Structure 1
Amino acid sequence: MDAAPAFTAVLFGLRGCLVHTANGAPSPAPGALATLASLRQRQVPCIWLDELDNSQGQRLAQVLPDWLPGHTVNGTRWPAPNACWQALMTLHSARLDGCVLVSGEPRLLQSGLNAGLWTVGLAACSPFCDLNSRQWQAMTAQQQDLARGKATLELFSLGVHSVIDHLEALDTCLEDIAQRRHKGEKP
């Protein structure tokens, strides 16, 4: 069997996906640095997106690798596809085929869908599972599992192509998308 097609680019949401903030201080999300390093090793271009202004975005992104570019939305807001297309232009991406957006933010995921990208929803990073909230931390493990399950259903109801709990599961998810692409499936 032929090898699955390579990915053209991976776009990430910044807040909640790659960077978490606790008490106002940014830190890399669990699995973010390893995921980015793995994609860089495979020479897959990556970029983050956010609706913050440029200085706020750069402040949060300072905990990420220096090589990772970012794109803050200028003008049209999500769910318009413009931000995704502009981020791909920043990466000098030659085509949409093989581009993936990863986020827990429903409006950004809708933007990716509108732009014609493959989309991966992060259930644990969605607004339905605010890991930093007191309400979340007061939940039992079973209640948290139920909330993640609800978030998964909410993200699938948007039309995203795959949903995973966290970035540590992204490699397996990308393998699945690669196989779907190999079979001729389009986003």
Structure 2
Amino acid sequence: MNATEIQTQRKIEAVIFDWAGTIADYGSFAPTQVLIDAFAGFDVPVTLAEARVPMGMAKWKHIQTLGKLPAVAARWVEKYGREMTDADVDAVYAKFMPLQIAKVAEYSYPIAGALEVLGTLRSRGIRIGSCTGYPREVMDALIPHARALGLAPDCVIAADDLQAGARPGPWMALANVIELGIGRVAACVKVDDTGVGMQEGRNAGMWCIGLAVSGNEVGLTRAEWDALEPAEQHRLRAAAEQRLFAAGAHYVVDSVADILPLIDLIEARLAVGERP
């Protein structure tokens, strides 16, 4: 192995980001609020906390899982006299989709530090991948909005792009590896704000960085987070970190703005032969 090949073995080749709560939409409100609205269209109330439980899944699966939560399932039975069926999931999904397409851009502004981090990664020759729980129709609405704001990954894989499926399976993350022409999966980092996103990255054989504060685990706007007392911030951060580590994260930080030192640390680990 020559010197160039040795140096390549020490470098991160790609960082694969989630979207909502990770690089855009601080607090991850676009998917959750629209799910609440979709269920309300069937006269079944869903709380924000309940809508967040399956976050990161493909949206049809998210709706199905949400409908099986005991409290939500009980409300559905109270309203319709039976448990939620797959046909009901289809109906809620049909209500959800136009709402999500219409509203996704309202929430999806870059999280502070995201543009700077992506620019720094690119300056180091690191490719920028992405995948999401959103279906392709939603991403087709979101991508032009995001690009106009400077948020433009090299690859975008949507939840319904692949026949194999979505999270927590490895397929969307690995589709990024293929599309970007990455030579080593162990030289890839998955960054996500959800537990299923961490599982996805680990199942794909990647390093995983969880984001505890900016996304679904805390689920607050930036203003709401900043208004909290330090002790409450500490409590919420610690609980989010625990959940993300339990799901497989190698590292957990507050937001995407904090990941660059971890990229350096992972490269140092690669340099001594460590793997995810």
Interval containing the TM-score (normalised by the shorter chain): 0.7 to 0.9
For the 8 Å contact 1:19–1:60, the answer to whether it is kept is: no
**What is the Cα deviation at residue 98 of structure 1?**
0.7
**Structure 1 residues 128 and 144, CA, compared in 2 at 3 Å: closer, same or farther?**
same
Greater shift, 84-93 or 2-11, is seen at: 2-11
Cα distance in 2 for partners of 1:30, 1:58 equals: 23
Normalized per residue, the structure richer in strand is 1
TM, length-normalised to structure 1 = 0.88
Matched, 1:29 2:111: yes
Residue 108 of structure 1: how far off its partner (Å): 1.3
Which residue is equivalent to 2:200?
111
Post-superposition offset of 1:138: 6.8
- The question of whether the paired residues in 2 share the 8 Å contact of 1:131 and 1:137 is answered with no
SS at 1:71 equivalent: coil
User: Match for 1:171 among 260, 269, 273?
Assistant: 260
The structure in which a higher percent of residues are helix is 2
Please tell me the root mean square deviation across aligned C-alpha atoms, in Å: 2.4
Counterpart in 2 of 1:47? Answer: 129
Following the alignment from structure 1 to structure 2, what is the Cα–Cα distance between the partners of residues 133 and 171?
21
Q: How does 1:137-176 map to 2 (within 5 A)?
A: 139-176=228-265
Counterpart position of 2:271: 182
Counterpart contact for 1:130–1:136, Cα < 8 Å:
no
TM-score norm. by structure 2 comes to: 0.61
Indicate the larger mover: 121-130 or 78-87.
121-130
Residue 56 (str. 1) matches residue 171 (str. 2): no
Question: Per the alignment, do residues 7 and 133 of structure 1 end up closer, same or farther by CA in structure 2, a change over 3 Å counting?
Answer: closer
In the alignment, which residue of structure 1 is the partner of 2:184?
A: 95
Unaligned runs of 5+ in 2: 1-5, 31-105
Whole-angstrom distance in 2 between the partners of 1:26 and 1:110 = 24
Structure 1: gaps spanning 5 or more residues: none
Q: Could you tell me whether the CA contact under 8 Å between 2:173 and 2:201 is conserved in 1?
A: yes
Structure 1 residue aligned with 2:18: 13
Larger Rg: 2
Task: Tell me the distance in 2 between the aligned counterparts of 1:18 and 1:115.
Answer: 21
CA distance change for structure 1 residues 43 and 135 in 2, over 3 Å: closer, same or farther?
closer
Q: Say if 2:17 and 2:192, in contact at 8 Å, map to a contact too.
A: yes
Residue 53 of structure 1 and its aligned partner are, at CA, apart by: 1.4
Q: Name the residue aligned to 2:214.
A: 125
Q: Is the 8 A contact 1:48 1:71 kept in 2?
A: yes
Q: More deviation in 32-41 or 125-134?
A: 125-134
Distance 1:94 1:25 in 2: 35
Point out the more displaced range, 32-41 or 143-152: 143-152
